Amino acid sequence: MPARFCVGGAALALSVAALPLLMELSFQQSSSQEFFALAAQAQEKATFKLSGGISHSDSLEPLPVSERVGAALGGNAGATVPSNIPPSNTPPANTPPALVNPYRNSNASSGITPAVTSPVRMQPQVPPPNQLYYSRTPHIDPGQALYRKRLREAAEQNLLATTPRRPTRVQIKVPFWLAGQWQRTETNELSRKELPSGKELKAVGKQVARVTDVFGTYKDRRGNVFMIVPLGAGGAVDRGFAVDYHRVKKYEMILDGKNSAVIKVQASHQVVSKKDKRVVEAYQDEELNRYTLIRDGLVKNDSSVKVFDQLGQPKLITRAVSTERRVKRI
């Protein structure tokens, strides 16, 4: 009995001695869990994520050099050609063979180099001009015909290369409850954050915003509404000293519920000075507009806009809500 008591007392002593260590380990485990939970909450707040895993892009592709700050409107519109270059009768190195006159270059239609011989006086074998005019056999100069043929082919190729090709029109089906023309008169900005720091900025709050949205281009015989995706479509906003030109690069409609849809749009912006016609500011933005049906003819728009610089790096993210009323059906 005393031996058992000693063994039990020793076990109890070890348990009491290990109690602080177990409490410390438990506290560290709970602290780590709280830390990861807070980090996950912070990450969730920093990114606007919708149902179905729809969220903003981390970054975008950089804008072309011709669309960045300092570029002239229209590419090399301000470039000039020097006028002190002496004229030359030799065709440039990049001139297509079809544009080289075979009469100036006797080797244009043949790759064989003729042998150089001393001139020999011979009697002219060409018939008098009047016989060519009065002959029943038509006279065709092979060299001239070949030159004209090559010139015509080159002109056709240049015409095809310079003719702008119409982009392929992509059509998507629009849900019946969203089809039509919608208008909103005001919006309420709830949050505004600086990226990538995540610093909270002062939200604008309620402001006047008269916007018209159109979903649907035509209706088929069965009553289904379709719309043409506005890829490449653009517009302009006058800022006074400059004009903000924008162009749609990506447009996507995602149905994430029976009465809800997400419109994901990416666009590029070039703010062009009115004075010197140069880009003074360039940026990109990505919009996530989630439309939810409240009742027939009334929808709620939960919008998030993420702004990127000209190199595609995130700079700002905002979130706003508004309501839109349908003013016209398709």
pTM of the entire structure? 0.58
**Residues of the chain scoring pLDDT < 50:** 1-16, 22, 25, 27, 35-36, 38-48, 51-52, 75-114, 166-167
User: Percentage helix, strand, coil, to 5, in the chain?
Assistant: 25, 35, 40
The total number of residues shown for the chain amounts to: 330
Q: Enumerate domains of the chain plus CATH numbers.
A: 170-328 (2.40.160)
pLDDT tens sequence across 241-274: 999 999 999 999 999 889 999 999 999 999 999 9
Could you tell me which of 187, 200, 239, 188 has the C-alpha nearest to residue 317? 200
Q: Return the half-sphere exposure (C-beta side, CA atoms, 13 A cut-off) of residue 323.
A: 7
Report in angstroms the alpha-carbon separations of 30 from 27, 40, 42. 5, 15, 18
